[in-house]
Structure 1
Amino acid sequence: MHTDHTVTVEEAVQVLAMVGDLSMGQPTDQSIRSAALAERLALQDGAAAGTCAHVRLVTLLRWSGCTANASGFTDLLGDDVAGRDAMLTQTLPPGTKMSFTSVAPLARIHCEVSGAIAEAMGLPVEVEVGLRRVWEHFDGGGIPERLTDADIPRLVYYVNLASDLEILTRAHGLEEALRMIAARADRKYPGDLVRLQATHAAQWLEAVEAPPCPTALPVLGERVSLTIVADMIELKLPWLLGYSRRVADLAERAAALAGLSPSQQQCLGRAALMHGIGRAAVPNAVWQRSGKLTTADWEKVRLVPYWTARAGVQIPSLRAEATLASHVYERLDGSGYHRDLEGDTLTLPQRILAAASAYAALCMPRPWRAACDAGEAGRLLAAGVAAGRFCGSAVNAVVTAADGKGLDVAEPAAQRKRLLSERETSVLRRLSLGESNKEVARELQISPSTVRTHVESIFRKLECSTRTAATLKGLTLGLI
């Protein structure tokens, strides 16, 4: 199928900003407010209009690599969402170990992935460089490269000062926020910019809080596939990679079989690529739990479609897709979430999306179970129909559409070979699942040293230095 999944770059940036805010435990408009503050600071400092546009984009995308290192922050802090919120608000419990050695590798992943996202969307090189250096500090004490002022674009300081002002004021009040920022003058940021922001901070904060907060981006008429949003979300959990793409393909095929219009098919596919937005707000520890979820866990999970629906409020041009996407976990018997709707209120597109997502999930492995084959997945959905949870006609369309086919969204093999060899593609596919070199070697029946050679070649060809960035590029290029 050749359904149009593209959106404007502006729309993609706004979705990615929201996903980033959720991943970092922030309000969903935190990046929007910070971008408005950063632009004011840049203007006050005499920056050109073009630089101000770059500042806004870097601020909105500065969290876009945070899903890629969520597992690392889970290991470091226990809760990747609440832990990173505590980092930003400077409220980590006393004794929390946050050494350069432990954090720098995670920052490197973050910066490389966010830079790769900017590159994939065709954003200006100034934006890409800003994202790759957004955690560096004025005095050379930042991460991951410990660059000094001469190698740090001034826009990085606009972004960090504005972001810290917004977050710390919310957490501690304006007076304390300004004191905390001033304590890092000529360390994290240049002292002259700290003093400049302090002079106008109260006025600027009042302006960006008064509705409506400015959200206009520079005119970005180019278009980019929503798959970049799905891929960014799914970097949070290696076993999710490619899931939303599969749901989109399957839902569109099922919709065609069910006689839905081309516009409904397109909306279904786009909704499928967006339906995981709210998943970013749930800590990895919940998703990885092998036993029964606690009541508190379930309350977090139940909010996933709510946050997805909020994307439609924040980005009105994608309201139809976000609203449809937020019905993905509703069930005919009222046992779904978050609205607890029942059969009479659920439309056929909503029923198809629910069945397609369940089928695709069953056919992929999870930490707590192996993947089902097509026959078993069909039987489990049929049991759901008998129990009154799924719509029979929707399940029939999904199972017929699947038929053991139609879920491979990679580019043709001839195109893959032009960049990676078949063996390199196999190694990259195993790496994307989070496997170590030894595990890849065992699965592919080759030596660990051969795996290392292939990994080095993959990094060189994809121009990456981390496995997560290679995974994102592999997905973007259709290699895996």
Structure 2
Amino acid sequence: MADVSTIRALDAVKALAFIGDLSMGQPTDHSLRTSWLAARLAAEAGHDDTRCGVVKAVSLLRWSGCTANAAGFSEWLGDDIGAREAMLAMRPGWAGEAETQGQVEAAITPLAQIHCEVSGEIARMLGLDDTTQAALRHIFEAWDGRGLPERLDRAQVPEAVFVVALASDLEILSRVYGLDSAQKLIAQKAGRQYPEALARIAVAQAGAWLAELDGHNEADRDAPLDALPMQQGTAPEIVADVIDLKLPWMAGYSRRVAEAAAGCCARLGCDAEMRRSTYLAGLLHGMGRMAVPNTIWNTPGRLSPAAWEKVRLVPYWTARAGKQIGALARESEIASQAYERLDGSGYFRGTAGAALGREARVLAAAACWVALRSARPWRGALSVDDAARLLGEQVAAGRFDADAVGALVSGAISPEKDAREAVAERTKPARGALLSPREAEVLRHISLGASNKEVAKVLLMSPSTVRTHVESVFRKLECSTRAAATLKASTLGLI
């Protein structure tokens, strides 16, 4: 691993806010604007500084769990991004004209459960206080007791949930429909989604607040975030793990790219700073993937021109992330060059030759190497020899840096094996203390999206035995969903 142990927790939160906004089909500053509005609403309602700090943090992490249920939304509605954007905008028929309210609730309740559990787990990993964690674990509960997933009585729901829900509605509805319509729609939801008294404050102040917010530059809008009550540093890998939850078959992918890129830098004799920046860029390079529906990522074979155009914009969105995460701007810029090629045939900029720095060349080769060596729903992982041959052909065609590719595939131990052994060494005590070898094996398979029946077939077990192991893993990891178990296991180095 590169010489990276922590990044600022606030930068991780901003990265997760950016990822969440893309996943929900929102502008990339939606969560930041919601945080500002929520703080104003809370202050106007008489909340003290501590409670205002909670609503800021909850606003930024409200969508942090949405990568975890993207596969479920995709399976249910086809377009996991477009469907959720329509849902937030209260567009009629977002769940399909033929579906009854009961069918919608039956489909969306388990997805809400996944989202809430993962969001709360992320807050815990970031060292946020218990109140913030609780709010995120109940983020879809409602004032009238008909919220999701538990339909809790209002007295059991942290007040930050209602403040953030209202601030989010104000930000989205005013942008989509205009201020007057937003005020009417909020009035209709008052007494159901959030308390009437809070809604009256928002309706009365909406015009002034939005005008003030629109007049702010980024520094003015972001300044209050520096006072958020959170730990100073956090592991950067949490961002990568949340990215990879979007597609179950990509669990651990961003970490492997980062490890391969850092290992390549070490073999090339690069200094510690280059190893660090390339490693971080590897963790971040998939942020833009959130803007592309899962149906496109799951498509075998050639993509349509329209789908391919969405994929070509992935590094563009990653580059945009740097504007939201100032302290990681340089690493985001390197990350956005992961799909550029030396001959100018890459995307999104079409940068070529000397314009691509050494870090970008290493990252591009590492990302391709790990992709070839990873299984996909439509193909198995390529062998070391086959992957090396294909990369060699790309070097001969002038697309990849020969030194970077040589460093990746040289030596008796391949980079991805280096990465696995490094992780195993760092987390050996955690693995041994928590899970049995069989449980760890089952967890590795379910983290990649395999069903109990599929795991049983591969491991030559009965489905009931697999189910017993899964239940034991959930109990030991204190989780109730596969997505949360995957996230926690990634952090602990169990997969």
Q: TM-score, normalised to structure 2's length?
A: 0.95
- Deviation digits for residues 291-343 of structure 1, max 9, x if unmatched? 31111111111111111111111222111100110100000111100000111
Change (3 A) 1:196 1:26: same
- Deviation digits for residues 186-217 of structure 1, max 9, x if unmatched? 11111111111111010011111113151132
SS at match of 1:272: helix
Indicate conservation of the 8 Å contact 2:2/2:262, yes or no: no
Q: Aligned pair 1:343/2:348, yes or no?
A: no
**Aligned equivalents of 2:435, 2:121: Cα separation in 1:** 18
**Aligned equivalents of 2:439, 2:274: Cα separation in 1:** 38
Offset at 1:260? 1.4
Equivalent residue in structure 2 for 1:356, among 355, 366, 369? 366
Structure 1 equivalent of residue 196 of structure 2: 191
User: Unmatched 5+ residue regions in structure 2?
Assistant: none
Structure 1 equivalent of residue 330 of structure 2: 320
Structure 1 equivalent of residue 37 of structure 2: 37
Change (3 A) 1:386 1:463: same
Higher alpha-carbon deviation: 128-137 or 87-96: 87-96
SS at match of 2:234: strand
**Aligned equivalents of 1:104, 1:402: Cα separation in 2:** 49
Q: Aligned pair 1:67/2:82, yes or no?
A: no
Equivalent residue in structure 1 for 2:386, among 363, 373, 376? 376
Identity of aligned residues (%): 51
Structure 2 equivalent of residue 442 of structure 1: 457
Indicate conservation of the 8 Å contact 1:83/1:92, yes or no: no
Higher alpha-carbon deviation: 176-185 or 22-31: 176-185
Higher alpha-carbon deviation: 289-298 or 268-277: 289-298
Indicate conservation of the 8 Å contact 1:39/1:52, yes or no: yes
Offset at 1:2? 5.2
Superposed structure 1 runs of 4+ greater than 4 Å apart: none
Structure 2 equivalent of residue 458 of structure 1: 473
**Aligned equivalents of 1:444, 1:410: Cα separation in 2:** 23
**Aligned equivalents of 2:238, 2:356: Cα separation in 1:** 29
Offset at 1:134? 0.9
Structure 2 equivalent of residue 410 of structure 1: 423
Structure 1 equivalent of residue 46 of structure 2: 46
Indicate conservation of the 8 Å contact 1:330/1:339, yes or no: yes
Q: Aligned pair 1:108/2:113, yes or no?
A: yes
Change (3 A) 1:76 1:366: same
Indicate conservation of the 8 Å contact 2:2/2:272, yes or no: no
Q: Aligned pair 1:22/2:35, yes or no?
A: no
Equivalent residue in structure 1 for 2:256, among 246, 249, 253? 246
Structure 2 equivalent of residue 95 of structure 1: 97
Indicate conservation of the 8 Å contact 1:5/1:270, yes or no: no
Indicate conservation of the 8 Å contact 1:33/1:209, yes or no: no
Structure 1 equivalent of residue 160 of structure 2: 155
Change (3 A) 1:154 1:401: farther
**Aligned equivalents of 1:225, 1:175: Cα separation in 2:** 44
Change (3 A) 1:440 1:364: same
Offset at 1:124? 0.4
- Deviation digits for residues 264-306 of structure 1, max 9, x if unmatched? 1100000100000000010000100013111111111111111
Amino acid of the structure 1 residue aligned with 2:74 = T
| 1:94-243 correspondence to structure 2 within 5 Å | 95=97, 97=99, 99-213=104-218, 214-215=221-222, 216-217=224-225, 218-219=227-228, 220-243=230-253
Amino acid of the structure 1 residue aligned with 2:126 = M
Indicate conservation of the 8 Å contact 1:333/1:389, yes or no: yes
Higher alpha-carbon deviation: 19-28 or 248-257: 248-257
Offset at 1:31? 0.4
- Deviation digits for residues 147-199 of structure 1, max 9, x if unmatched? 12111111111100000010011111111111111111111111111111111
Change (3 A) 1:411 1:53: farther
SS at match of 1:19: helix
Higher alpha-carbon deviation: 270-279 or 313-322: 313-322
Task: Report how many aligned residue pairs link the two structures.
Answer: 480
Structure 2 equivalent of residue 423 of structure 1: 438
**Aligned equivalents of 1:478, 1:208: Cα separation in 2:** 42
Amino acid of the structure 2 residue aligned with 1:384 = Q
SS at match of 1:250: helix
**Aligned equivalents of 1:92, 1:268: Cα separation in 2:** 45
Higher alpha-carbon deviation: 432-441 or 397-406: 397-406
Offset at 1:370? 1.1
Indicate conservation of the 8 Å contact 1:105/1:144, yes or no: yes
Offset at 1:369? 1.6
RMSD: 1.3
**Aligned equivalents of 2:430, 2:15: Cα separation in 1:** 30
Q: TM-score, normalised to structure 1's length?
A: 0.98
